[in-house]
């Protein structure tokens, strides 16, 4: 048994009551929420592809999964080394890798205000650029039918709009379909529209357990002006939390086929992400042991201990 103070137990029980007050079951009843959503959007039933249908639709071309990973050495934010990897992997054996390293220990300008936030933003943008590089390579060299990207396409638009526009243009020119699949629905606009009196609610809270397996929902306001994207949510497995799916607006006519593809490639017992993306995620993941091994192998011991070894690593218990 863990040692837990009575005060902590009391505060957790009180927090549970507060959460129950903030998210009352009666307001989040599925039938009531579905009635509201039917007035502003559309529920869509999706069928899996048969093997023959999938082969005909894909035209004999591959499906490519894109994912990236970043991890850092342990320590305070400004004394770390970050390792980045991005991988494009096709169902016909194709692979393309990009990698990078970064540390705030080497930079020309130091400003204390907002520094930590900027460092986090830099790492996110750097990883997005690597993922966009392997995406461009996959489209140009392999000409697949579909590129599936792990996460929403919208974050590429925000991280590096110019590079994202180049990828989108290349996909449209070559006829390669692009779809982003996010395991978490992070938006809040739908919940705000339906229940404005509950500002703490997110779209995930509203949609949890609402959709049937194989059911999608589309609401036009999810697509911000200027992004040139469509978006839907989709329950592609037994998991009660739907995934977010988005794509290029000029390819919107293919959105139902893309949802059928996702449904066909997703294990029913999984979290709603196509198995091929899980394979890519597993291969590209930068683990703690990998980071430590790379640092031990390539960074001189005196630099490693002076710059990258936190005091906590010396704890004896």
pLDDT at site 109: 46
pLDDT in tens, the chain (317 residues): 678 899 999 999 999 999 999 999 999 999 999 999 999 999 999 999 999 999 999 999 999 999 999 999 988 878 889 999 999 999 999 999 999 999 888 865 445 445 555 666 677 889 999 999 999 999 999 999 999 999 999 999 989 999 999 999 999 999 999 999 999 998 999 999 999 999 999 999 999 999 999 999 999 999 877 789 999 999 999 999 999 999 999 999 999 999 999 999 999 999 999 999 999 999 999 999 999 999 999 999 999 989 888 766 655 56
pLDDT at site 273: 97
**What tens digit of pLDDT does each residue of 63-86 get?**
999 999 999 998 887 888 999 999
d(CA 274, CA 262): 6
**DSSP annotation string for 3-38:** ---HHHHHHHHHHHHHHHHHS-TTTT-HHHHHHHHH
Question: How do the domains of the chain map onto residue ranges?
Answer: 35-106+129-309
* Fold observed for domain 35-106+129-309: Nucleotidyltransferase; domain 5 (3.30.420)
Please name the residues in contact with 149: beta carbons below 8 A apart, sequence gap of 6 or more.
Answer: 65, 66, 67, 131, 135, 156, 178, 179, 180, 181
pTM of the model: 0.91
Alpha-carbon distances of 129 from 72, 94, 124, rounded to whole Å: 18, 20, 9
Give the DSSP H or E segment for 244: strand 243-248
**What tens digit of pLDDT does each residue of 191-221 get?**
999 999 999 999 999 999 999 999 999 999 9
pLDDT at site 315: 59
pLDDT at site 223: 81
Tokens linked to 251: 């390819």
pLDDT at site 114: 53
pLDDT at site 123: 79
By CB neighbour count within 10 A (0-12 exposed, 13-18 middle, 19+ buried), where does 213 fall?
middle
């Amino acid at each position: 048994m863990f040692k837990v103070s009575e005060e902590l137990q009391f505060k957790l029980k009180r927090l549970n009551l507060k959460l129950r007050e903030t998210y009352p079951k009666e307001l989040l009843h599925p039938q009531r929420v579905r009635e509201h959503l039917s007035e502003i959007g559309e529920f869509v039933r999706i069928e899996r592809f048969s093997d023959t249908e999938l082969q005909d639709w894909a035209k004999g071309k591959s499906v490519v999964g894109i994912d990236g990973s970043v991890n850092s050495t342990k320590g305070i934010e400004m004394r770390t080394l970050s390792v980045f990897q991005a991988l494009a992997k096709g169902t016909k054996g194709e692979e393309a890798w990009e990698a990078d390293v970064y540390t705030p220990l080497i930079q020309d300008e130091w400003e204390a205000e907002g520094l930590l936030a900027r460092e986090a933003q830099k790492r996110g943008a750097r990883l997005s650029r690597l993922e966009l590089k392997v995406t461009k390579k996959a489209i140009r060299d392999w000409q697949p039918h579909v590129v599936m990207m792990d996460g929403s396409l919208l974050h590429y638009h925000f991280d590096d709009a110019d590079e994202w526009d180049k990828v989108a243009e290349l996909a449209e020119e070559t006829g390669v379909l692009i779809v982003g699949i996010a395991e978490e629905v992070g938006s809040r606009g739908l919940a705000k529209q339906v229940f404005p009196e509950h500002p703490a609610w997110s779209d995930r809270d509203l949609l949890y357990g609402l959709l049937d397996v194989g059911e999608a929902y589309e609401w036009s306001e999810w697509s911000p002006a200027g992004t040139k994207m469509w978006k839907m949510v989709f329950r592609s497995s037994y998991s009660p939390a739907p995934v977010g799916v988005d794509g290029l607006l000029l390819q919107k006519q293919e959105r139902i086929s893309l949802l059928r593809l996702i449904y066909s490639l997703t294990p029913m017992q999984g979290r709603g992400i196509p198995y091929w993306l899980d394979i890519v995620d597993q291969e590209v993941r930068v683990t703690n042991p990998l980071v430590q091994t790379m640092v031990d192998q390539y960074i001189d011991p005196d630099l490693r201990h002076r710059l990258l070894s936190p005091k906590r690593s010396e704890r004896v218990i």
